[in-house]
Structure 1
């Protein structure tokens, strides 16, 4: 792989995977800084073959690397995830679901070397960033994640315990009955509370779709990858909790955000 470079250019980020001195290296930048990243890449990519994937692969091929090969983004994500699973010593011969949370979210059924995309949703990292622009002051991803970690969703979300108060609810009281339903409290709530609610809405939706897909395909093993999870402990913790509560076995792959770039390079 030392003479190959994989580039995954999605809706929000450009991610690069390459091997140097026997080790895999990764680099990512916002898509708005794509030209800077690719100019750097042109300087270091002599005598290397470029493999592209993602929605902007065609643009990059036309403007920067005309000899590059384009790999289907779903194939790349699954191939890269399989590689990372092998590196982590995880068995990939049993049926499982792969959930790629990027700008949007895609679900794949994995069975050994075989994979099929079974579901997609517009809910994902793009939703988190877009709602952040509307509801909070910081606009960068890391700041919004930090903000969501310090907030309380129950300030703006109607929780089960709110409905049943003062009685004991039949299910966990901290579960959401309705997102953003405390309409009178929204304007007086903090940015942190609103972002905590946004993050919770996204993770709940992804979990519910994952539970249904897992039941349909008779598996409990679910593997999460994608750039929205990178440095996003609140989302990982929330997905982990909701999935385990639903009887699923969640796994979060290290460097999973680079699955597409790795898969493109491998392919």
Structure 2
């Protein structure tokens, strides 16, 4: 069994694979020191009890996460390749734009086993939490997401239907301007819903533009934000009104860790 570790800036993700079979995954957020977080994740997930034979690691904190203390053969994997590989494996697609919504957002073009980094954006989960702290005094993701679930987007977002009746390409429910209707009457819940929608819509729009530039018809979405019901609903709207098909992959929050483990089949640089 191979343990894949994705040690990012705000979370560590684990996946154990036996061949192509996913045995277990685990997501540990609210990182302080990476080594401490990895040890916590291994204990809480029960992964230590599994017969792990090899460890593969990726992510910005991969070299500092403490994987080398496990006493098992270890290799390091390209994070961009792991994103592409994990997204394709989980979605069953080999020609897609894989979008990883983490602290920031990364766009990887996956074609026939080759993964090309198209770029990224600083808008992601980190942006959402930074705005939540600064504007609303919200300090945990769960608090912000619960507030967003109770909010009314119509109280903060200006929609096409607020301006005119719409057209063939502009449905009245689509956003004309994020947060443009926010007022003193908007509640903290309304603001939370608007901030989350801002991040999701920016990601979806940039993915649509990248698909047009590279003639891709499928967008595979990864990252912890995909677990939210608001994400599923928002990307269904994008699929309905725009050309690409937006797919939230299973195990999307740990997809990069899964890709990391899968790529070890081609990696001979064990230490």
Fold shared per TM-score above 0.5:
yes
Report what 1:38 is aligned to.
39
Aligned to 2:56: 51
CA drift of 1:182 comes to: 3.1
SS in 2 for 1:32: coil
Relative to structure 2, which stretch is displaced further, 207-216 or 62-71? 62-71
Unaligned runs of 5+ in 2: 265-271
In structure 2, the CA distance between the partners of 1:111 and 1:23, relative to structure 1 (3 Å rule), is closer
What does 1:1-267 align with in structure 2 at a 5 Å threshold? 2=1, 4-19=2-17, 24-30=23-29, 31-32=31-32, 34=34, 35-38=36-39, 41=42, 44=49, 48-61=53-66, 64-65=69-70, 68-85=74-91, 90=92, 92-93=93-94, 95-164=95-164, 168-170=165-167, 171-182=170-181, 185=183, 187-230=184-227, 232-266=228-262, 267=264
CA deviation string 1:148-175 (max 9, x = no partner) = 12211221223333334xxx34433332
**1:142 Cα deviation (Å)?**
2.6
Change (3 A) 1:33 1:145: farther
- Over 3 Å counting, the alpha-carbon distance change for 1:201 and 1:40 in structure 2 is closer
Shift of 1:260: 1.3
Aligned length, in residue pairs: 252
Contact between 1:10 and 1:55, CA under 8 Å: does it hold in 2? Answer: yes
1:204–1:76 distance in 2 versus 1, CA, 3 Å? same
TM-score between the two structures when normalised by the length of structure 1:
0.84
CA distance in 1, matches of 2:166, 2:79: 44
Q: 1:246 to 1:19 in 2, by over 3 A?
A: closer
Q: CA RMSD of the aligned region, Å?
A: 2.5
From the superposition, tell whether residues 234 and 138 of structure 1 become closer, same or farther in structure 2 (CA, over 3 Å): same
Aligned CA distance change for structure 1 residues 235 and 33 (closer, same or farther; 3 Å): farther
Runs of at least 5 residues in structure 1 that lack an aligned partner in the other structure = none
Shift of 1:216: 0.8
Q: Quote the residue 2:267 is aligned against.
A: none
* Partner-residue secondary structure (3-state), 1:182: coil
